[in-house]
Amino acid sequence: MKGDRRRPEGLQMRMIMPGGFPMGPGKADLLQGIAETGSISAAGRRMKMSYRRAWSLVEDMNGFFREPLVETSRGGADGGGARLTEMGERALTLFRRIEEKAMRATGPEQAELTGLLRDASKDT
Amino acid sequence: MKGDRRRPEGLQMRMIMPGGFPMGPGKADLLQGIAETGSISAAGRRMKMSYRRAWSLVEDMNGFFREPLVETSRGGADGGGARLTEMGERALTLFRRIEEKAMRATGPEQAELTGLLRDASKDT
């Protein structure tokens, strides 16, 4: 399943939180999708993720943070809407800032490592 | 299998290389283990990875870079020794530098994100 979600090239950040909870690009994209679509199922679909999987990730995150990151309005499995709470916005913003800063800090090394690849040598 | 390899807490870096080749902490630790133990099987064992898996990761890396990262001396499955080539040392060094720089660049944001966790709130 995981292999089906093609990630764009580049640096990926995954934080292993105290307690072992992983927070990576998948959960961040899901949060962002919920913010943008107003729906857990629509956000999951966009990522080719089952509703069950998307919902389970949301439940994990909601339980692991001090307050829920995602708030749903009741309405059955596919019915109700969803939105990020203030805590959800904060967590997503922080994660994106970590991605950005790490990316900016490591540009030259990333280029150098990529330059060692067989395919890269064809292009240069 | 992947879930069995417990990663320490903190930020993990994974580079998705052009062509989709992922280079993350698992492959970096394997390279480092080979450098330290002189053996693919010993390096894999240290990571609770099967010899077959360790060998397959090494083959992937060797094929993807311009030159092999790991050089083996013949001697059967468990027999011969292994060591990093110059290219292997360069790739490992670059990857570790990316990890370090990203870590240093994002310390405050990491602390802030961790501070939003339920467990963290007990400690502070």
Condensed to tens digits (0 to 9), the pLDDT of residues A43-83 reads 999 999 999 999 999 999 999 999 999 999 876 555 579 99
Q: Which residue of A has its CA nearest to B15?
A: A11
Specify the residue for token string 């979600």.
A5
Phi, psi of B95 (to 5 degrees): -65, -45
A85 CB-near residues (< 8 Å, 6+ apart): A67, A68, A69, A70, A71
Residue whose C-alpha is closest to residue B102's, from A114, A101, A78, A53 = A101
Check CB contact of B63 with chain A, cutoff 8 Å: yes
Given an 8 Å threshold on Cβ–Cβ distance, is B17 in contact with A114? yes
Check CB contact of B104 with chain A, cutoff 8 Å: yes
Report the amino acid identity of residue A54: A
Which whole-number Å values give the CA distances from B104 to A101, B10, B108, in the listed order? Answer: 10, 12, 9
In this complex, the residue of A20, A105, A113 whose CB is nearest that of residue B105 is A105
| Confidence (pLDDT) at A1 | 37
CB B51 within 8 A of CB B78: yes
Residues of A in contact with B117 (CB under 8 A): 17-19, 21, 64-66
Residue whose C-alpha is closest to residue A120's, from B97, A111, B57, B62 = A111
**Model pLDDT for residues B61-111, shown as the tens digit of each residue:** 999 999 999 999 876 555 579 999 999 999 999 999 999 999 999 999 999
CB B23 within 8 A of CB B17: yes
> What is the CA angle A55-A22-B31, rounded to 5?
135
Average pLDDT of A4-17? 75
Specify the residue for token string 């749903």.
A72
Given an 8 Å threshold on Cβ–Cβ distance, is A98 in contact with B106? yes
Ramachandran region, residue B10 (left: φ > 0; alpha: ψ -120 to 50; beta: rest): left
Average pLDDT of A93-114? 95
| Confidence (pLDDT) at A19 | 82
Residue whose C-alpha is closest to residue B61's, from B102, B24, B99 = B24
Q: Rounded distance, CA A75 to CA B15, Å?
A: 40
Q: Helix, strand or coil for residue B78?
A: coil
| Chain A interface mutation, best of B59, B117, B121, B124, highest count of A Cβ atoms under 10 Å | B117
Residues of A in contact with B104 (CB under 8 A): 105
Check CB contact of B87 with chain A, cutoff 8 Å: yes
**Model pLDDT for residues B39-61, shown as the tens digit of each residue:** 999 999 999 999 999 999 999 99
Ramachandran region, residue A48 (left: φ > 0; alpha: ψ -120 to 50; beta: rest): left
Specify the residue for token string 């050089």.
B71
More confident position, B8 or B87: B87
Check CB contact of A104 with chain B, cutoff 8 Å: yes
In this complex, the residue of A21, A101, A119 whose CB is nearest that of residue B109 is A101
Instruction: Band the pLDDT of A18: cuts 50, 70, 90.
Output: confident
DSSP annotation of A105 reads H
Average pLDDT of A5-15? 75
